[in-house]
Amino acid sequence: MVDRTEKLLKDITEASGLPGFEDEVREIIKNEFKKFADEILYDKLGSIIAVKKGERERPRIGFFAHMDEIGLMVKGFTKGYVKFAPLGGWWSATLIGQRVKVKTDKGEFYGVIGAVPPHLLKKEEAQKLPDIDDLYIDFGVEEKKFDPQKKLGIKIGDPIIPVSEFKILGNKNIYMAKAFDDRVGCALLIRILEEIKNKKIPGTAYFVATVQEEVGLRGAATSPWVFEPDIAIALDVSLTEDTPGAKTETEAKLGGGAAIVSLDYTMVSHKKLRDFLVKVAEKYKIKYHLVTVIRGGYDTGRVHLFKEGVPSSIIGIPSRYVHGFNSMIHRKDFDNALNLCINFLKEFDEKKFKEITSY
C-alpha cells in the first residue's frame, strides 16, 4: 500500500519550482488544496492560499510555507559553456560536479556543474573553494564552437534546476531529497488541511504556500494582504547538530521531534505564542525541542511586521544538509509537527488570541 505522506513528499520534492518559476510545484499544491479547502485564494505574485472555515471567522490563523527552492539562472555564455547566477544562498562546495537541467522552448537538457580541476591549479589555489562566478555548466556537446543559445534554445534568464530523486534510506524513517526546504512545509500544509477537513476548529485557518522566499521573503510580504492574519506560524526546515563537526550537543537532530524556533535572523518568536505551542505539545505528548536559528530566516520575518503586527512563531522539521542537492528529514519529526499543528488549531480560539495579545 502506498504511504500517503511518502508519495506526497516524493511528488512535491521532485517537482521544479525556483524563485519566480514556481508553476510546476504550485500546480501540485493547487490540486491537493482543491480536495480539502473551503476556498482558494491567490496574491498577485502567485502565492496560493487554502481556507478552512472555522466556527468563527476570527482568529485568522495563517500557516506559511514557501514553494520555491534554491536554484540557478542562466546569466551568460563562455566558449560554449553556460555561466549562471545563484537563486538563493549556495555554498560553492555543494555545487561542483552536481547534475542540473535547464528548461527551454526546445525541451529539457541536462548538464553538470564544472570547475577547473584541482590538479590543474597551483597548490595554494587548490586549497581554496572556487567562487561561484568561476563555475560553469557543461552540457556535453563536442563541437568546439558549440552555441548553447542556438542548439538548445538556452536564453539568459532561463532557470537551472537541481536534479535529485526522493529516496527512502536504510532507516526507513529517513528520507533524502532536494528541496525539503521548503517542500516539507508545503506537504505539512496539505496534510494538516486534509486531516481537519471534516473537523471543527474555533477560528479560521489559512494555509499559505508562498513564492520567492529564498530571494527575500517576497511572497510573505504580499500574501498577508489577501486575508489579514491575526497570528502566523511558519512551517519550514530547521537545522540539526547531529553530524560530525557539530560544535554543540542539543536536541536538534533527526528524530528529535518538531522544532519550536525561538529566534532566527529575521524575527524573535512571539513569546506567548511560542509558549502556547510548547503547552500544546506537552498536553498532547508530542515530541518537540526548542532551537535558535542564527543564520537564516523564515516567512514570518516579513509576516510579523504586517500592518500593526502579527504575533508569529515557527515550527521546524529538523533537516541535515539544507541548501544542497540532497537533504534529509525524519518521518517521525514530520508526524510530530503535523500533530502539533492539528492540536494547536483545536486549542487556539478567540480567548487565547486575546490572551497572547494582552500586554
> Which run of H or of E encompasses 62?
strand 60-66
Note whether 100 and 137 are within 8 A (CB).
yes
Helix and strand counts by DSSP (H, E) for the chain: 11, 18
Q: Which residues are part of the catalytic machinery?
A: 213
Cis omega (within 30 of 0) for bond into 275 = no
Cell of 55: 466556527
Note whether 180 and 330 are within 8 A (CB).
no
Annotation: binding site for Zn(2+): 66, 181, 214, 236, 323
Which of 185, 197, 208 is closest to 61 using CA atoms?
208
SS3 328: strand
> If you write DSSP's letter for every residue of 247-299 in order, what string do you get?
SS--S-STTS-EEEEEEETTEEPPHHHHHHHHHHHHHTT--EEEEE-SS---T
Dihedrals φ, ψ of 175, to 5°? Answer: -110, 145
Q: How far is CA 92 from CA 71, 85, 101, 132, 183, in A?
A: 12, 12, 18, 6, 23
User: In terms of DSSP H, where are the helices of the chain?
Assistant: 4-14, 23-36, 123-126, 148-152, 180-196, 218-222, 224-227, 271-283, 300-303, 331-347, 350-356
